[in-house]
Amino acid sequence: MRRLMLLRHAKSDWSVSGQTDHQRGLALRGETAAPLMGRYMASQALVPDQAIVSTAVRTRETLRLVAEAFPQKPPASYEERIYEAEPEAILAAIAKAPSSAKTLLIVGHNPGLHETAMLLVGSGDKRARAKLSAKFPTAALAVIDFDVKSWSAIGPGSGRLERFVTPRAIGGEDD
């Protein structure tokens, strides 16, 4: 079995003029939501073996704050192709994940992350699927399980949505 966790970056800061989209960091709300999600993940044993992260500042900051709650920080690769990626690019990155990683975390952006989740999920809790279908807010987490032996074997509709968690569901705020 393989477990994929898709985490959208926490709320970003639009207030700093002169920054490119890639350079935007987290807003105060994001700096609160990311550790909250990290503590939730750690309490539920949702700790990744490997992370693949967009190179944008806000995704790197999200991983740093989330991982503070983990027993140890997972190895991470920072990949430009995850920045503003479409599902095909995200799936290509997943397919190349180390075979030793049974639980993989992707920290990325919408709309690609949401589209990837919708593409991969074929079963799972009906309410969670409806919630995922409606919106993938910042700092939200989709946990998708696959009955496969390698990351390259996952495909459209092959995943079971184990849970979809938003910051609001664990005491924070959604956007």
Whether the predicted pLDDT of 84 surpasses 80:
yes
Whether the predicted pLDDT of 27 surpasses 90:
no
The DSSP string of 33-91 is HHHHHHHHHHHTT---SEEEEESSHHHHHHHHHHHTTSSSPPPEEEEGGGTT--HHHHH
Predicted pLDDT of residue 16: 65
Question: Average of pLDDT values for 32-46?
Answer: 97
Whether the predicted pLDDT of 39 surpasses 70:
yes
Whether the predicted pLDDT of 174 surpasses 70:
no
pTM for this predicted structure: 0.95
Q: State CA 29 to chain mean position distance.
A: 17
Predicted pLDDT of residue 163: 97
Residue in 10, 18, 116, 113 with CA at minimum distance from that of residue 68: 10
Q: Average the pLDDT over each of 20-29, 34-43, 139-148 and give the range with the smallest value.
A: 20-29
Task: Give the whole-number percent of the chain exceeding pLDDT 70.
Answer: 96
**Secondary structure class of 112 (helix, strand, coil):** helix
Whether the predicted pLDDT of 63 surpasses 80:
yes
What value does the mean pLDDT of the chain take?
94
Predicted pLDDT of residue 19: 74
Whether the predicted pLDDT of 53 surpasses 90:
yes
Question: Which residues, at least 6 apart from 96, have a Cβ–Cβ distance to it below 8 Å?
Answer: 151, 152
Give pLDDT tens digits for 110-163. Answer: 999 999 999 999 999 999 999 999 999 999 999 999 999 999 999 999 999 999
Domains and CATH numbers, the chain: 2-170 (3.40.50.1240)
